[in-house]
Structure 1
Amino acid sequence: MKRPVLQRLALSTLPLALAACAVQRPPAAVQAPAPSAWHAPLPHQGSVADLAGWWQRHSDPLLGALIVDAQALSPTVAEAGARLAQARAQQTAARAALLPSLDAQASASRGFNEQVRGVATTAQAGLQAGWEIDLFGRNAAVADAARERLAGAQAQWHEARVSVAAETALQYSNWHHCARQLQVAQADARSRGETARLTRESERAGFTAPATAALATASQADSAVRAEQQRLQCEVIVKTLVALTGRDEPLLRSQLAAAPPLHPPEQLFSIDGLPAQTLAQRPDVYAAEREVAAASAEVGDAQAQRYPRLTLSGTIGRGLVRTAGVQATSNTWSIGPLAVTLPLFDGGRRAAQVDAARARYDSAAQAYRAQVRQAVSEVEQALARLDSTARRSTDARRAAEDYRRSFTATQERWRAGLASLVELEDARRTALASDTAVVALEQERMAAWVALYRAAGGGWTPEVDAPAAQTSTQATTTPPSSSH
């Protein structure tokens, strides 16, 4: 009597013993090197506005509209949206593996029965259920990996939007500064043209040597070439914006012409003193972190495949038989069998899969650490550029003003016959270079702000989900609640 009792006790404790042998995964979170504070100076001590409202700081509705159009048209965002839809589908499939499956079955037949020497009709209908008891957490590990990759795909979708927004803003800024450079070049061309006209009149009157007149004419032609080159650069930027946004080119040109001047903001958004808080805003860093967690779950999946699998099935049905006018029905049900699949020999395939999963985990961890280092570097570089442009801006403007005054004074002396044309051209060239440098410095500062916006994550936070995507088209055209 004691032996059956012991057998039943052993069988009842077997699931607990198997569960105690559940596989161990490597850490889902790894440490990444992040300095305790930024080494580059923070603009305005990191004060002022919210990063998510970056574009609204410009008070330029055209910029925000261009960004929306570019994001809706971008193939990068579309591809990220398709990957997001795939990740959602994979998560649904992985979750389904944790639940029982239920299938309906039906069959019917009609034929001659020799025993009763008549036609017999047989029909059956029923339900068949199956369930894999996830003792070692294999299906749970697959579901965890799918969940982490879905979170990473959402972050990558936001990263694509941030990249498109930054590129559009940069091109928009480039057009504004190119237009200003064109104004400088055209003003210089007009000034040189007037000088050439006066020089030719002086030559005809016999007061100016032909060589001096030729110098004035050459200077006028040279300025016309520079103005045309600058105009070409502006044309290229307009066509780049057309390609980015898909807008009608004549309409875009009229909108750009009516847009207010764009100046580098003195204040834009705040950067926390701790890099960890700022880097958490970067969707690429978050996606890399989720990939580490997914790889950790896949190690658990690979390990669990080396252990037994336990499946339980069951059926319920109803049958009908009609022969020679006699009809009989029957109901059937069964629970079982409880099947155990035990891996015995596979030539080392499952062990190799575990090694491969661990190698992928190590690779994901290294990629995550490298992504954090890259993020720190990008933020530091953007901060350094901002600091440098701020330090140069005052001196650059002062130099431009003084060179402009020097040119005006030299021009007056030249008209009075107290300065040579060579002196005038030298003063003009210096003034032109300083005016061009001021505009270029403002463009550099704006580019540094855009780079810092992108390096700081573009206002994305893990709490803000991408929109639900039943189709990849919806995923790429529906804007999230956060502003990029």
Structure 2
Amino acid sequence: MKAFVLLAVTAACLLAGCAAPRPPAALPPEPAAQWQAPLPHGGSAAALRDWWQRLGDPLLTELIEAAQAASPTLSAAQARIEQARAARVAAGAALLPALDASAAASRGNNQPPAPLASTVQAGVQTAWEIDLFGANRDAERAAQARLEGAQAGWHEARVAVAAETANGYLALRSCERQHGVAERDAQSRRETARLAELSARAGFTAPGDAALARASAADAGRRLTQQRAQCELEVKGLVALTGLAEPGLRQRLAGGWREPPPQALPAVPALPAQLLAQRPDVYRAEREVAAASAEVGSAQAQRYPRLTLSGSIAAGRVRAGGVSADLQTWSIGPLALTLPLFDGGRRAANAEAAQARYADAANQYRARVRQAVREVEEALLQLESARARGEDARVAAEGYAASLAAVQARYGSGLASLLELEESRRTALAAETTLVTLQQERLAAWIALYRAAGGGWTAPAPALTAKGS
């Protein structure tokens, strides 16, 4: 039997001029040697999965967990994992023999006056395609790579939801701080307008100055109302993200918030090569390259001969005219060799299409690597810019606040005009608003860096990912 199989395969290969197809090799990452942007804290490594805990805000951690539980994006990613797992099982089943059982019963006669006959049969049939050129093995490797990519996609979705929730939460906290600034400014302007009105009634202040003070107070009230509405919108956004009840969320948010110090924020690894091990989207793109590579080998193998083996075992009983007889049959074979001769170019076209998909996946992978490096570089630059501007903004806000206090004292003593006071107030308000905005920008840059660095996810061990490469 072995000699017959070997002879049949050899003859088929000689007719087809076949050789075992080889899928393209997987692409290695091409990272830069080092980051070009400044590294915070010297680029020391940190466990990004503990990033949120290090901010010292348990409410933020709870909101992220709630958002991940309620996210339809994560639900869809989980569904893709299940679909990919089912496809992997189906692809692996093609490598194994198929086994089917059958049973039948009948009663009748073929031609009178033959007696009625009762027949009962039961049997098992098997069929197996011998994977000579690895078509089914490559299909299983492609399915396994796509399963691993889907699992990485789920982690990518988790990181995205966490970053979106953190951005929404910190935007709300920044909005609350801006509301505090606007409220203090509105109170100060209302008091100035009240005093200016009293002074105008007493004849010590021109009516035009009193009108200017009233207009300034009204403008501050408008800004305060607008800021309050913006904070309400931020709360609504958090409710939609997390799926939490709004009354309970508002109660938790009422506890206040303090900005984390710079040393509480983690740093990132120094080399892009380490980044590539922490980016689930880069790993998913690499797994897509591996899947497309395996599909090239599978499509090429379809152009070569196929060898199948079948067999069966059956047992039956026939009863006719009061006489019973038992029947047992078994067979091994046929051993069938199928040699493709002409299909109008269908198999060749499938192989070319698979090769094109591989080329596209390879280009997408290279682009994803470049995008990953770009996102980290941009986040580092934004973080450094916010840090450098933050100190100057703090000094400016403190200086303008001191200047405003001095002008207010002079105005109260009649040594400064209302125009001078309003100009000093506008400058101080702009400086304080800029400081709060920069503090939010700094935290937003840290969130962007967290997401760009992969959010603490790490790729599976190479032994698991090299399959099919």
Do they superpose with TM above 0.5?
A: yes
Aligned to 1:14: 10
| Cα shift at 1:14 | 3.4
Q: 1:205 to 1:15 in 2, by over 3 A?
A: farther
Any idea what the Cα deviations from partners look like across 1:373-425, whole Å, max 9, x if unmatched?
A: 10110000000011111111111111111110000010000000000001111
- The separation in 2 between residues aligned to 1:97 and 1:404, in whole angstroms, is 76
- The separation in 2 between residues aligned to 1:48 and 1:112, in whole angstroms, is 84
Any idea what the Cα deviations from partners look like across 1:430-474, whole Å, max 9, x if unmatched?
A: 11111111100000000000000000001111239xxxxxxxxxx
Structure 2 residue matching 1:336: 3-state secondary structure = strand
Aligned to 1:451: 448
Aligned to 2:258: 261
- The separation in 2 between residues aligned to 1:82 and 1:160, in whole angstroms, is 13
Aligned to 2:344: 347
Amino acid corresponding to residue 188 of structure 2 in structure 1: S
Of 376-385 and 107-116, the range deviating more from structure 2: 107-116
Where in structure 2 are the equivalents of 1:239-254 lying within 5 Å?
Answer: 239-254=236-251
Any idea what the Cα deviations from partners look like across 1:27-68, whole Å, max 9, x if unmatched?
A: 1x2144421000000011123641110110122111111111
Q: Is the 8 A contact 2:46 2:268 kept in 1?
A: no
Q: Does 1:216 align with 2:230?
A: no
Q: 1:155 to 1:341 in 2, by over 3 A?
A: same
- The separation in 2 between residues aligned to 1:248 and 1:264, in whole angstroms, is 31
Q: Is the 8 A contact 1:116 1:324 kept in 2?
A: no
Aligned to 1:282: 279
Amino acid corresponding to residue 363 of structure 2 in structure 1: Q
- The separation in 1 between residues aligned to 2:393 and 2:404, in whole angstroms, is 16
Q: Does 1:291 align with 2:285?
A: no
Where in structure 2 are the equivalents of 1:379-398 lying within 5 Å?
Answer: 379-398=376-395
Aligned to 2:300: 303
Q: Does 1:366 align with 2:363?
A: yes
Where in structure 2 are the equivalents of 1:432-451 lying within 5 Å?
Answer: 432-451=429-448
Of 63-72 and 201-210, the range deviating more from structure 2: 63-72
Q: Is the 8 A contact 1:44 1:267 kept in 2?
A: no
Q: Does 1:93 align with 2:90?
A: yes
Aligned to 2:22: 24
Aligned to 1:227: 224
Q: Does 1:63 align with 2:57?
A: no
Aligned to 2:177: 180
| Cα shift at 1:17 | 7.3
Q: Is the 8 A contact 1:48 1:267 kept in 2?
A: no
Counting matched residue pairs gives 457
- The separation in 1 between residues aligned to 2:39 and 2:129, in whole angstroms, is 56
Identify which of 16, 31, 34 aligns with 1:34: 31
Aligned to 1:476: none
Structure 1 residue matching 2:116: 3-state secondary structure = strand
| Cα shift at 1:71 | 1.1
> Unpaired segments of 5 or more residues in structure 1?
1-6, 465-484
Q: Does 1:428 align with 2:425?
A: yes
Of 271-280 and 222-231, the range deviating more from structure 2: 271-280
Q: Is the 8 A contact 2:70 2:243 kept in 1?
A: yes
Of 181-190 and 347-356, the range deviating more from structure 2: 347-356
Aligned to 2:160: 163
- The separation in 1 between residues aligned to 2:138 and 2:153, in whole angstroms, is 22
- The separation in 1 between residues aligned to 2:121 and 2:290, in whole angstroms, is 48
Q: 1:48 to 1:396 in 2, by over 3 A?
A: farther
- The separation in 2 between residues aligned to 1:218 and 1:443, in whole angstroms, is 30
| Cα shift at 1:75 | 1.4
Q: Is the 8 A contact 1:263 1:442 kept in 2?
A: no
Where in structure 2 are the equivalents of 1:331-346 lying within 5 Å?
Answer: 331-346=328-343
Structure 2 residue matching 1:54: 3-state secondary structure = helix
Q: 1:211 to 1:9 in 2, by over 3 A?
A: closer
| Cα shift at 1:84 | 0.8
Q: 1:450 to 1:261 in 2, by over 3 A?
A: same
| Cα shift at 1:274 | 1.3
- The separation in 2 between residues aligned to 1:100 and 1:110, in whole angstroms, is 33
Structure 2 residue matching 1:347: 3-state secondary structure = coil
| Cα shift at 1:271 | 1.8
Any idea what the Cα deviations from partners look like across 1:262-313, whole Å, max 9, x if unmatched?
A: 3364342232221011122111100000000000000001100000110000
- The separation in 1 between residues aligned to 2:9 and 2:320, in whole angstroms, is 51
| Cα shift at 1:115 | 6.3
Where in structure 2 are the equivalents of 1:400-415 lying within 5 Å?
Answer: 400-415=397-412
- The separation in 1 between residues aligned to 2:87 and 2:287, in whole angstroms, is 16
TM-score between the two structures when normalised by the length of structure 1? 0.91
Q: 1:255 to 1:166 in 2, by over 3 A?
A: same
The RMSD of aligned alpha carbons is 1.9
Amino acid corresponding to residue 304 of structure 2 in structure 1: Y
Aligned to 2:466: none
Structure 2 residue matching 1:258: 3-state secondary structure = coil
- The separation in 2 between residues aligned to 1:13 and 1:109, in whole angstroms, is 42
- The separation in 1 between residues aligned to 2:200 and 2:45, in whole angstroms, is 61
Aligned to 2:71: 74
> Unpaired segments of 5 or more residues in structure 2?
462-469
| Cα shift at 1:116 | 6.2
Structure 1 residue matching 2:458: 3-state secondary structure = coil
| Cα shift at 1:114 | 3.8
Identify which of 101, 106, 122 aligns with 1:104: 101
